[in-house]
Structure 1
Amino acid sequence: MVLALGLNSITMMGEVRLPAVIADNMVLQRNSEVKLWGKATPGHELSVKPSWAKKAVKTTAENDSTWVVTVSTPEAGGPYSIDFAEGKSTKTVSNVLIGEVWFCTGQSNMEMPLGGFERQPVKDSNDMIARAKKSTPVRMFVADSEDGRWVRQYSKTPKTEMWGKWLENTPENASHTSATAYYFARYLQEVLDVPVGIMISSLGGSQIECWLPREVLAAEFPEKDLKILDNDEPIKVQQTTPSILYNAKVNPLINYGVRGFLWYQGESNRHNADRYADLMAAYARTLRSKFGNGEDMPFYFVEIAPYNYGNPLATDAALLREAQADAVKKIPNSGIASTIDIGNFQFIHPVDKATVGQRLAWLALDNTYGIKGIASRSPQYDRHEVTGDGKMHIFVTETPNNICPMWTDLQGFEIAGEDGVYHQAKAQVIDRPTCIELSSPDVPEPKYARYAFHNFPEYSVYSGYGLPLLPFRTDRSR
């Protein structure tokens, strides 16, 4: 059910007004200079006093009623409170935790709640829901649903206010929270032993263009039609209208201090995969620029999973996965969590969201928090050699403890000759532990190879740490 909103997302308490994201139960980024903001009577002085600070921070409301202050946060802990005062009017935000904060966006696989969609479950979610408790310091800012009812927010112009709620970690709240983001947060919290906040803003079926601001699309992707943003034509399809989700579900949050970003999207961009890596790079730059905490803020994302898409042997999803792998090279301090081994032929939404969340958490723990001993990156194609005896050798990188075939004959490999017609290949690891040898009686002179390069492919190769080999093809110039 869709909840229709005709309300202002800023709540007034006396004269001090705060946005929805600055509220009871919120998590602030630890050891940082974070912004707090709102509205007040123009020209009036505001006083902001966190309970962890010795002194209040003061400012004056601008002519348009807006104000913003910057406060220093301590090491992880809480609960704390923050008092906001304008004259004799005060508002107190309570039950505030200090810890790690991540901003999570995407389409339906990010949106999919721990309780699942109708007729599409999340594997083992009931156990995770039952074990949710307030004493486990995970908090969720949700902008997608209220008590299981969908909230749709979009706008042709950038907004500064939005609907949303900070929720405590209870079974009911967890059941309505993004499963991917929740598993990520729970894993991170357990390992780091600090509070974790996840801010979730997503929409099922949305294309990446919806999440990019107009000025970025106009400057970098002039082929995109932006006319609808200038006229009175109503928005008929939220998922394909450019910029409207950025305007409504990202822009209102850009003052908030976060550690990094999670992104789970791509299924709806399969048919323009040739531009997707550039679009992703633009999105990462946008978030880093707008949130303003540094050009190298971590940006981790999820590979789209296998699904039949009406033709399991087609390659449109494979081309999108290829673009996602390319994006890692275009985006500094980024990483991809592979899902090539957890797809479902019937469901576009993989039921195993725990693995997705864990692999995202490994990326963060390894690359952002610097925990030694964790392997976070999937093996990937490096180069190939054609031997003189009708065989091809594939060399892979990112292989701690080498590569691990699950059985002697590896599945998912194909080779082709000069004609470009692919045939299933016999594949096995040879004496060099990061080299896979391919051959086929149908291809006496192999020239090209590919692996797991279909909408719903076979797969078989892992690193010694259990991370799957990313799909690839060697004939990208064809």
Structure 2
Amino acid sequence: MAAAPWLPPAVAAQAAGTAPLLHALFQDHAVLQRDQPLRVWGLAPPGQTVQVELAGKRASARADGDGRWEATLPALKAGGPYTLSAAAGQARQTVADVLVGDVWLCSGQSNMELQVWRSLDARAEIAGAGNDRIRLLAVPQVSGVAPQATFSTPVQWRAVDPESVRDFSAACYFFARELQKTVDVPMGLINAAWGGSRIEAWIGAPALRTLGRYAGELDILERYAAEPMDAVGDWGRFWQRWWSGRPAVAAGDTPWDADQGSQWRAAPEQLGAWERWGVPELAAFDGMVWYRTGVTLSAAQAAQGAVLALGPADEIDMTWVNGQGVGSTYGAGGGREYRLPAGLLREGRNEVVVNVLDTYRDGGLSGPASQHALHLADGSSVPLEAQWQYRIVPAEVGSPPRAPWQSAAGLSTLYNGMIAPLGRYGLRGALWYQGESNTGEPELYADLLRTLRRDWRERFGAGLPLLVVQLANYGARPSAPTESGWAQLREAQRQVATEDSDTGLVVAIDIGDAYDIHPTNKQELGRRLARAARHVAYGQALPASGPVPLAAGRNGEAVVVSFGDVEGALVAYGAPGPIGFELCGEAAGSCHYAQAQVWHNRVTLQAPDAHQATRVRYCWGDSPTCTLFDANGDGPGMPAGPFQIPLSPMPYDDHAR
């Protein structure tokens, strides 16, 4: 049958019988969510009736004007394997070996992405992997400036075996393997994770707009989808307004204009990581550095279309030519290519200015000089001047806004490219391990996490269980009470989990690695995630995590903190009392370590200035030492997680629980 010429390409292929009827999620070896109506969807010729059948249950739907259809099958108990079929006219598709069980979405940044081959005891774990009742699906790492209806590259459900599990998320796999010991049903795991991603990238644009603070960036993102070059210019002006509005920036300081101020210094010709330049201020610098150079053009060259090519920048650049923003990209792995607007170049010298932001390890614009050039429309190239200059941005200027179209650091980009293609696929719950990339702005995280939770529940179902992994310990141990963006973000995670009965917090403060932001003990993390799921998603009578603070109050000259969710009793390891408690006043910098003593399910704190305390902190810092656990004699105890709570104005009630 010839395809009608007015049909969209996918629908035209469908009409010709060359494309599948079912969405890419519905394929051999898939797992569908038990005990809830089963939504099935795909594409068919407009107006065509589609019949679907699974396990003897049938449903039908009519394709709309764009060829989209969705049918709902009755709920099924766990079981299988089954065959799922769809038929429309002469077209038919059959999907085999379909199981019905529990489906979990595993999302976040690199600690959720980290593969089994990088985990503890990886060789044995991979060699021993084999479970046909756990199925894996990896979502392609694709960002989008608008929500995508399906995946940009093929996906595949695969049963667990040494080949399939090797590159799959370790945290996600070990979670399901542990959970299946007590929840004996097939498990489907969907991994949608991207290393280095910020939480804003995983939230849909309408949900982000409800927060108010992202309206300007989201407006530019909408324009970028239609007119990217114009939107880039808008973004350059947005970024410049941010810079000029910073209290630490002097009036009239506009580095993108390549002013001739005295702050500029000569950069090494080979560029590369600024930590290796031999400049003391840059030896361990995470922040922003300005770069500038130029390129001289003839009138004929300046009149041509051109692309500015730069080498890789670690990790985010904002680039100007002749004072106009021309591009911004996230990611250290590849070079930059920015198409320049007509009329921007001029005869003579043209100024090129690049601001590079680095937040982790090495930073800077890569060399050699030959990587940086203008590629002209006639096929010729003009190298940029080899001698670059630089100036360091003081830390008090703060962290700049990210271009909203950036992949892992943008707004809604990963939601559009990796969550939206999942449609409204049935889920039992979601795992969320993310936050490291937001520790520079921890005060925003609680509202963002609430927004993500609400947004995903609107898509996948009200009350969707969400298991949040609290950030693990990483970095140098503190020798005195300190302020910490990592600790503040952990507290935001704790508060958001505490306020919602369908959210579980998984404490990981004792299983991190001070020297590696990617701890390898994902087996224990999987065990704790499974425990939280048993409580939150399956209603089993066990605490979701370890001991949690209930209240703090005065008892004479001491402060007493009471705990709940204690299995057995509280114990302190390595010292007569637990380490890591602080008593604090209202002001920043007012915290002091306290001597702590365990008594039943309480911890008594004493310090010389305890009478001035208004709040208690525990396990505070990037990588704190904390030794309070519970122990019931049946296995490893669970740690009490980091927290900050106010002191009650009332005296401590010895009988309170």
* Smaller-chain TM-score bracket: 0.7 to 0.9
TM-aligned CA deviation for residue 125 of structure 1: 2.9
Counterparts of residues 202-217 of structure 1 (less than 5 Å) = 202-217=193-208
Counterparts in 2 of 1:254 and 1:416: CA distance versus 1, 3 Å: same
Counterparts in 2 of 1:140 and 1:208: CA distance versus 1, 3 Å: same
Counterparts of residues 279-290 of structure 1 (less than 5 Å) = 279-290=448-459
SS in structure 1 at match of 2:106: strand
TM-aligned CA deviation for residue 473 of structure 1: 2.7
CA distance in 2, matches of 1:219, 1:418: 31
Correspondence 1:193 to 2:184: yes
CA contact (8 A) 1:16 1:84 kept: no
**Partner of 2:430 in structure 1?**
261
TM-aligned CA deviation for residue 61 of structure 1: 1.7
SS in structure 2 at match of 1:341: coil
CA distance in 1, matches of 2:610, 2:204: 51
**Partner of 2:361 in structure 1?**
none
Find the partner of 1:326 among 480, 495, 500: 495
SS in structure 1 at match of 2:560: strand
Correspondence 1:375 to 2:371: no
CA distance in 2, matches of 1:235, 1:246: 20
Counterparts of residues 439-454 of structure 1 (less than 5 Å) = 439-440=606-607, 443=609, 445=611, 447=613, 448-454=615-621
**Partner of 1:316 in structure 2?**
485
CA contact (8 A) 1:103 1:200 kept: yes
CA contact (8 A) 1:210 1:245 kept: yes
Correspondence 1:23 to 2:27: yes
**Partner of 1:350 in structure 2?**
519
Find the partner of 2:83 among 77, 81, 84: 81
Counterparts in 2 of 1:311 and 1:160: CA distance versus 1, 3 Å: farther
**Partner of 2:412 in structure 1?**
243
**Partner of 1:157 in structure 2?**
146
SS in structure 2 at match of 1:18: coil
Deviates more, 1:230-239 or 1:28-37: 230-239
CA distance in 2, matches of 1:42, 1:309: 61
TM-aligned CA deviation for residue 440 of structure 1: 3.6
Counterparts in 2 of 1:42 and 1:417: CA distance versus 1, 3 Å: closer
Which amino acid in the other structure matches residue 471 of structure 1? P
CA distance in 2, matches of 1:416, 1:327: 23
Deviates more, 1:458-467 or 1:229-238: 229-238
TM-aligned CA deviation for residue 89 of structure 1: 2.2
**Partner of 1:228 in structure 2?**
221
**Partner of 1:307 in structure 2?**
474
SS in structure 2 at match of 1:282: helix
CA contact (8 A) 1:284 1:331 kept: no
SS in structure 2 at match of 1:350: coil
Counterparts in 2 of 1:114 and 1:221: CA distance versus 1, 3 Å: farther
SS in structure 1 at match of 2:551: strand
CA distance in 1, matches of 2:451, 2:411: 14
Counterparts in 2 of 1:214 and 1:311: CA distance versus 1, 3 Å: farther
Counterparts in 2 of 1:418 and 1:303: CA distance versus 1, 3 Å: closer
Deviates more, 1:412-421 or 1:399-408: 412-421
Which amino acid in the other structure matches residue 491 of structure 2? E
**Partner of 1:415 in structure 2?**
583
**Partner of 2:138 in structure 1?**
142
**Partner of 1:39 in structure 2?**
43
CA contact (8 A) 1:385 1:394 kept: yes
Q: Deviations over 1:41-97 (max 9, x none)?
A: 1122222122x11x5322222210111111124221111111222222221111111
CA distance in 1, matches of 2:47, 2:176: 41
Q: Deviations over 1:420-475 (max 9, x none)?
A: 54333222213xx111122245x464514321101010011112352211212346
**Partner of 1:100 in structure 2?**
102
CA contact (8 A) 1:28 1:73 kept: no
Counterparts of residues 58-137 of structure 1 (less than 5 Å) = 58-116=60-118, 122-135=119-132, 137=133
Which amino acid in the other structure matches residue 290 of structure 1? R
Counterparts in 2 of 1:336 and 1:418: CA distance versus 1, 3 Å: closer
CA contact (8 A) 2:477 2:624 kept: no
SS in structure 1 at match of 2:516: coil
4+ runs deviating over 6 angstroms: 10-13, 309-312
CA distance in 1, matches of 2:469, 2:569: 23
CA distance in 2, matches of 1:179, 1:275: 29
Deviates more, 1:174-183 or 1:221-230: 221-230
Counterparts in 2 of 1:344 and 1:197: CA distance versus 1, 3 Å: same
**Partner of 2:350 in structure 1?**
none
What runs of 5+ residues in structure 2 fail to find an aligned partner?
1-8, 233-326, 331-406, 649-657
Correspondence 1:174 to 2:165: yes
CA RMSD across the alignment: 2.6
What runs of 5+ residues in structure 1 fail to find an aligned partner?
1-6, 117-121, 145-151
SS in structure 2 at match of 1:192: coil
SS in structure 2 at match of 1:48: strand
CA contact (8 A) 2:87 2:93 kept: yes
Counterparts in 2 of 1:110 and 1:417: CA distance versus 1, 3 Å: closer
CA distance in 2, matches of 1:132, 1:89: 38
TM-score w.r.t. the length of structure 2 is 0.64
TM-aligned CA deviation for residue 314 of structure 1: 4.8
Counterparts in 2 of 1:96 and 1:394: CA distance versus 1, 3 Å: same
SS in structure 1 at match of 2:180: helix
**Partner of 2:510 in structure 1?**
341
TM-aligned CA deviation for residue 309 of structure 1: 7.6
CA distance in 2, matches of 1:309, 1:239: 27
Find the partner of 2:444 among 275, 291, 298: 275
Which amino acid in the other structure matches residue 143 of structure 1? V
SS in structure 2 at match of 1:258: coil
Q: Deviations over 1:107-162 (max 9, x none)?
A: 1111111112xxxxx11233322222144x00011114xxxxxxx30111111011
TM-aligned CA deviation for residue 392 of structure 1: 2.3
CA distance in 1, matches of 2:476, 2:23: 41
**Partner of 1:119 in structure 2?**
none
Question: Greater CA radius of gyration, 1 or 2?
Answer: 2
CA contact (8 A) 2:31 2:188 kept: yes
SS in structure 1 at match of 2:160: coil
Which amino acid in the other structure matches residue 20 of structure 1? A
Which amino acid in the other structure matches residue 76 of structure 2? P
**Partner of 1:49 in structure 2?**
53
CA distance in 2, matches of 1:311, 1:160: 47
SS in structure 2 at match of 1:127: helix
**Partner of 2:644 in structure 1?**
473
Which amino acid in the other structure matches residue 155 of structure 1? G
CA distance in 2, matches of 1:236, 1:476: 46
CA distance in 1, matches of 2:586, 2:170: 46
CA distance in 2, matches of 1:15, 1:172: 28
TM-aligned CA deviation for residue 99 of structure 1: 0.5
**Partner of 2:244 in structure 1?**
none
Deviates more, 1:338-347 or 1:215-224: 215-224
CA contact (8 A) 1:392 1:446 kept: no
TM-aligned CA deviation for residue 11 of structure 1: 9.7
SS in structure 1 at match of 2:53: strand
CA contact (8 A) 1:11 1:17 kept: no
Aligned residues: 448
